[in-house]
Amino acid sequence: MANDICIEFDDVVAGYKDFMILNNLSFKVAKGSITLLLGPNGAGKSTVLKTLFGLLKPRQGRILLNGENIIGKSQKELLAMGIAFVPQGRNLFGQLTVFQNMELGGITLGTKTTHERIPEVLEFFPRVKERLHSQASALSGGEQKQLEIGRALLLRPKVLLIDEPSIGLSPIVVQDVFKLLKKLAAQGTTVLMVEQNVKSALKISDDAIALESGQLVLHKKASELLADPNIERLFLGGGHLAGTVAAPAPAPASADI
């Protein structure tokens, strides 16, 4: 049903300068679901999240959040609408303390609310909580990623965009993060996640979308994909997906962003 849709990409064409990366991409994400974005390196997965978060302006198409076109909105406006983004890689201020990094995550909330929420969020990440006044750069890689996720959760996001959260995390912490995402989704947060840890991620996801060269090549229930005997070949052995569904024609590469 239309009113159950949280995120909609409608014929989106986006890229960097003259290189179009997303080619007529259309998909829908249901409210309170976890959708896993799959595809080989360079397929455009991070570009989808960056475009949703307004870091890249599409040349064509619409991106709807609860039915409202959000193209052209600033990050501040998007944060205020409840979208939080945890990008791929490391995104902390290493010279600042854990606490100060958390405070920056709450910049749109005001100091009082931020200070109330910091201990609440860090309950999920006890190792980080113990290091509240350490420099962020002194945390282990996995602890830094947990801090980044915690910083995003301060906003109590309605939509969480999370790019490869498991990189550098030990398996037990990955499971904790996945459980947390599941809990957030059960509370109504819509999660759009890129993750190479395909099997584990599918287990907590509702839907799976696969891209190849910026085109949608598969959109299925995660449970269906998990049960697919070809999953190993498709996602774990570098197999190609093109042809799984009819792919739309590429867009003309004439954009200038």
Ligand X SMILES: Nc1ncnc2c1ncn2[C@@H]1O[C@H](COP(=O)(O)OP(=O)(O)OP(=O)(O)O)[C@@H](O)[C@H]1O
Tell me which residues touch Mg ion (CB under 5 A).
Answer: 45-46, 88
Nearest distance from residue 39's CB to ligand X, in Å?
6
* Residue 89 lies near ligand X (rule: CB under 6 A): no
Closest by alpha carbon to 114, among 97, 96, 102?
A: 102
Q: Does 101 bind ligand X (CB under 6 A)?
A: no
Asked if 42 interacts with ligand X (CB under 6 A), we say yes
**String of contacts with ligand X for each residue 4-23, x by CB under 6 A:** ------------x--x-x--
In this structure, the strands spanning 190-194 and 159-163 are parallel
Answer yes or no whether residue 41 interacts with ligand X by CB under 6 A: yes
Window of 39-47, 98-106, 129-137, 179-187 that interacts with ligand X by CB under 6 A: 39-47
- Least separation, in Å, of the C-beta of 4 and ligand X? 27
Q: What is the DSSP string of 53-109?
A: TTSS--SEEEEEETTEE-TT--HHHHHHTTEEEE-SS--S-TTSBHHHHHHHHTTTT
DSSP 3: G
User: Binding ligand X by CB under 6 A: which of 43, 185, 201, 216?
Assistant: 43
Kindly report the CA angle at 151 between 154 and 211, in degrees rounded to 5?
105
Burial class of residue 127 in the structure, from the number of CB atoms within 10 Å of its CB (0-12 exposed, 13-18 middle, 19+ buried):
middle
From Mg ion, ligand X, none, interface partner of 16 (C-beta below 5 to 8 A by class): ligand X
Nearer to Mg ion, 46 or 114 (CB): 46
- Contact call for residue 46 and ligand X (CB under 6 A): yes
Q: Which of residues 47-66 bind ligand X (CB under 6 A)?
A: 47
Beta 60-65 vs 159-163: how paired, if at all? Answer: unpaired
CA quadruple 96, 181, 226, 65: dihedral, nearest 10: -100
d(CA 83, CA 201): 21
* CB closer to ligand X out of 39 and 165: 39
- Binding-site size for ligand X (CB under 6 A) equals 12
Question: Which spans of this chain sit near ligand X (rule: CB under 6 A)?
Answer: 16, 19, 21, 39, 41-47, 88
